[in-house]
Amino acid sequence: MSEDIRWEVVEESALTLPDHEAIAAMLGQAFPSWSHWYVGGRDYAGMQPERRVVGWGADGTVLAHVGIRRMFITVGGQDVLVGDTGIVAVSPRLQGSGVGRELLVRTRAVLEGLRVPYGFLGAGEDRIPFYAHMGWHEVDGAVGTFSAFTADGVGVNETEQGGWMVLPVEAQLEDWPTGEIMLNGQQV
């Protein structure tokens, strides 16, 4: 890593408006096709996280970010407590520098502190190898349904096949149930 980063685990209620604005600015850069969602202090487009891992630059800009929220999802008819993990991003100028790996190491520590059985996330096809390298496992053939993000209007159910990943935290991967995944709400 070529830049000093101050890492912080922040509870959602401890963030200030300038913090939210700084996070939103970086997310808009990291996700340009969704940048219209990340304006002002709006730094999430789905479920609001309860904890965040934030990497701050010396100038007060956000260089890395992830949001986490404990929630129950239904897998094959069985309720499973997960640490839903989302809005994972590294500033475009630092992508490929190792900051993403450090972010996920810190994310795992937060999930362990929350004592959830599993971390859970939806990943784009091009991101699966990165997450797999960091210990996440793609759920083969998984179909997941969730309420679509509401930043552009009312939420509707959306179903996606593939890209659903779990990270064993306090449970074993072989104990993950099989079957359709229902998030029963939005993703972080």
Asked whether residue 119 carries a pLDDT value surpassing 90, the answer given is yes
Q: For the chain, which domains are there? A: 6-182 (3.40.630.30)
Contact of 26 with 76, CB cutoff 8 Å: no
Asked whether residue 156 carries a pLDDT value surpassing 60, the answer given is yes
Asked whether residue 142 carries a pLDDT value surpassing 90, the answer given is no
Nearest to 4 by CA among 54, 56, 62: 56
Asked whether residue 55 carries a pLDDT value surpassing 80, the answer given is yes
Looking at the DSSP assignment, which residues form a beta bridge with residue 7? 55
pLDDT given for residue 16 in this prediction: 95
pTM: predicted TM-score of the whole model, two decimal places? 0.89
Angstrom distances, CA of residue 95 to CA of 24, 74, 91: 17, 34, 6
Which residues make Cβ contacts (< 8 Å) with residue 174, sequence separation at least 6? none
Where does the pLDDT of residue 153 fall: very low under 50, low under 70, confident under 90, or very high at 90 and above?
low
Where does the pLDDT of residue 140 fall: very low under 50, low under 70, confident under 90, or very high at 90 and above?
confident
Asked whether residue 72 carries a pLDDT value surpassing 90, the answer given is yes
The Cα–Cα gap between 47 and 4 comes to 30
Asked whether residue 118 carries a pLDDT value surpassing 60, the answer given is yes
